[in-house]
């Protein structure tokens, strides 16, 4: 029995921040000057990002939360905004995934949601059941506060649900409103996170493969794997503070990834019959340009192997858990009309607090 990722749906806010606008916002809110201002300008310039969707601004880029007229909003105000703004963004992505997969909402038996940028109960999961018209008996799993790799955790959970009973149909939805958590400080890691993160939602259907042709199918889930990188617990964190959620991000993250990712992926690739990493397509979460370069070097990949990751980073920024599905859809679109590329397996790879790595292999 084949467990497949069906169609993917994507959604971004109507508000868009250019990188120049994002830098201006960071400088104003964090009151950057001197060395911190020089650092911010350099980090924003080399981020590889042109723009990102953001719920904190209107269509014209005017800020609706960080107005510069008062102190930065506290965690309660940011959580109120998350509870109000996350469900419609998640709904848009989910509706698109169901439509493109030709799956009626009434056929969904399980809903797996992922988010690390907000807390609410009732949450996005119950809002989606009501908004999409899913059955009240839909079973729910929430992958919460796991960070940028949570989409792969959600896919692994969904695959296990379908493997246990092929009649089950799982809707996976990731929604992240990262820009709510702009930090009003001059800490280096807060400047870096301010330069990188954007907002977005992505969804897909995970189900048994259909006979007689595949409507919207992305590929079979061949394997999933996880690891905790040793001696790395202090280099990345995501913590609740008085001004939303604050990131801890140490400079050794790319170095640690480069040292350990090859050994982690070797048995995963071998188990899926991938003898040469260059024969696969790569869907690597763009934690930043240095993270992508660390993976490329460790796996001896050509520069173009990670172009889809760079393109999504350029167009949308780092949308935390939703980003991997954006890249997966980009790879699928890039392979349209190229039968050889479509047959190549795709390696999904992402990293999060811990420092943890999650991987999946999706058959072409």
Distance CA 221, CA 149 (A): 16
For residue 38, pLDDT over 60 is answered with yes
Contact criterion met (CB below 8 Å) for 350 and 234: no
Q: What is the DSSP string of 8-71?
A: EEEE--S-EEEHHHHHHHHHHHHT--HHHHHHHHHHHHTS--SEEE-TTB-TTS-BSS--SSSS
Contact criterion met (CB below 8 Å) for 129 and 177: no
pLDDT digits (tens, 9 = 90+) for 149-200: 999 999 999 999 999 999 999 999 999 999 999 999 999 999 999 999 999 9
pLDDT at 136: 97
Tokens of 74: 């506290």
Given 148, 174, 222, 356, the catalytic residue:
148
Distance CA 11, CA 86 (A): 11
Query: Is 148 marked active-site?
Result: yes
Tokens of 191: 């400047």
Domains of the chain, first to last: 3-208 (3.40.47.10), 219-362 (3.40.47.10)
pLDDT digits (tens, 9 = 90+) for 303-347: 999 999 999 999 999 999 999 999 999 999 998 877 667 789 999
């Amino acid at each position: 029995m084949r467990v497949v990722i069906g169609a993917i749906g994507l959604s971004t806010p109507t508000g868009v921040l250019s990188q120049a606008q994002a830098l201006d916002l960071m400088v104003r809110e964090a009151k950057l000057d001197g060395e911190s201002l020089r650092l911010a300008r350099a980090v924003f310039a080399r981020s590889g990002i042109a723009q990102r969707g953001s719920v904190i601004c209107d269509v014209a880029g005017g800020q609706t939360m960080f107005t510069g007229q008062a102190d930065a909003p506290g965690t309660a105000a940011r959580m109120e905004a998350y509870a109000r703004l996350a469900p419609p963004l998640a709904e848009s992505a989910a509706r698109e995934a169901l439509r493109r997969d030709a799956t009626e909402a009434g056929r969904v038996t399980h809903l797996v949601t992922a988010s690390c940028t907000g807390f609410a109960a009732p949450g996005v999961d119950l809002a989606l059941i009501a908004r999409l018209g899913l059955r009240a008996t839909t079973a729910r799993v929430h992958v919460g506060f796991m960070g940028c790799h949570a989409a792969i955790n959600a896919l692994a959970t969904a695959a296990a649900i379908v493997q246990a009973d092929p009649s089950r149909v799982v809707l996976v939805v990731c929604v992240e409103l990262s820009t709510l958590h702009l930090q009003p400080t001059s800490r280096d890691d807060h400047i870096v996170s301010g330069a990188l993160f954007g907002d977005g939602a992505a969804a897909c259907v995970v189900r048994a493969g259909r006979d007689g042709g595949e409507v919207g199918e992305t590929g079979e889930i061949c394997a999933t794997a996880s690891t905790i990188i040793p001696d790395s617990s202090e280099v990345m964190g995501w913590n609740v503070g008085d001004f939303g959620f604050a990131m801890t991000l140490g400079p050794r993250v790319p170095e640690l990834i480069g040292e350990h990712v090859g050994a982690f992926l070797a048995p995963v690739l071998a188990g899926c019959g991938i003898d040469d990493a260059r024969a696969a397509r790569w869907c690597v979460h763009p934690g930043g340009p240095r993270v992508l370069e660390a993976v490329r070097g460790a796996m001896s990949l050509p520069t173009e192997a990670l172009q889809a990751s760079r393109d999504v980073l350029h167009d949308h920024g780092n949308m935390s858990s939703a980003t991997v599905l954006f890249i997966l859809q980009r790879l699928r679109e890039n392979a349209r009309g190229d039968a050889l590329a479509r047959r190549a397996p795709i390696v999904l790879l992402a990293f999060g607090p811990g420092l943890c790595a999650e991987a999946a292999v999706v058959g072409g």
